């Protein structure tokens, strides 16, 4: 849901031209990543530091100053660009309409 909301917000800001325009694609990836990282940092700060609703083990590297886990940030730095690149690389399948010839009507005698 975070990814979908981040992508939707990025598309609202970028406007037209996506995905055909290369510059628009770069802006969409950058904004999607920025929104995702921003939400993740806020959410982890809120849940770990402010509420204390969950915590990391000592095995999880955290990033200062908010104590956000390293892997959620790396996930946001890698996956949006990779996913959008893969989606762009898949050729669009457009439905084809096969036209059938109507049977010739029998010739009427004149």
Query: Does any domain span residue 106?
Result: no
Report the predicted TM-score, pTM, of the whole model to 2 decimal places: 0.73
Residue 58: its pLDDT value, please? Answer: 84
Query: Does any domain span residue 102?
Result: no
Say if residues 34 and 27 touch (Cβ distance below 8 Å).
no
Query: Does any domain span residue 29?
Result: yes
Average pLDDT over residues 22-33: 92
CA-based R_g, the chain, Å: 25
Query: Does any domain span residue 19?
Result: yes
Query: Does any domain span residue 99?
Result: no
- What residues have CB less than 8 Å from 49, skipping those under 6 apart? 66, 67
Residue 98 in this model has a pLDDT that exceeds 80: no
Tokens at 103, concatenated = 């049977």
Please give the residue range of the domain that contains residue 31: 2-89
Number of domains in the chain: 1
Query: Does any domain span residue 75?
Result: yes
Say if residues 55 and 62 touch (Cβ distance below 8 Å).
no
pLDDT digits (tens, 9 = 90+) for 33-81: 999 999 999 998 898 888 888 878 888 888 888 778 888 899 999 999 9
* C-alpha span between 70 and 10 (Å, rounded): 23
Tokens at 46, concatenated = 């809120």
Query: Does any domain span residue 46?
Result: yes
């Amino acid at each position: 849901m975070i990814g979908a909301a981040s992508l939707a917000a990025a598309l609202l800001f970028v406007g037209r031209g996506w995905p055909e325009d290369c510059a628009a694609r770069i802006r969409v990836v950058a904004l999607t990543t920025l929104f995702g990282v921003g939400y993740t940092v806020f959410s982890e700060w809120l849940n770990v530091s402010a509420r204390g609703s969950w915590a990391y083990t000592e095995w999880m590297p955290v990033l200062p100053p908010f104590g956000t886990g390293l892997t959620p940030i790396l996930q946001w730095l890698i996956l949006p660009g990779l996913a959008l690149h893969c989606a762009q690389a898949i050729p669009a399948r457009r439905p084809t309409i096969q036209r059938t010839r109507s049977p010739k009507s029998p010739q009427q005698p004149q």
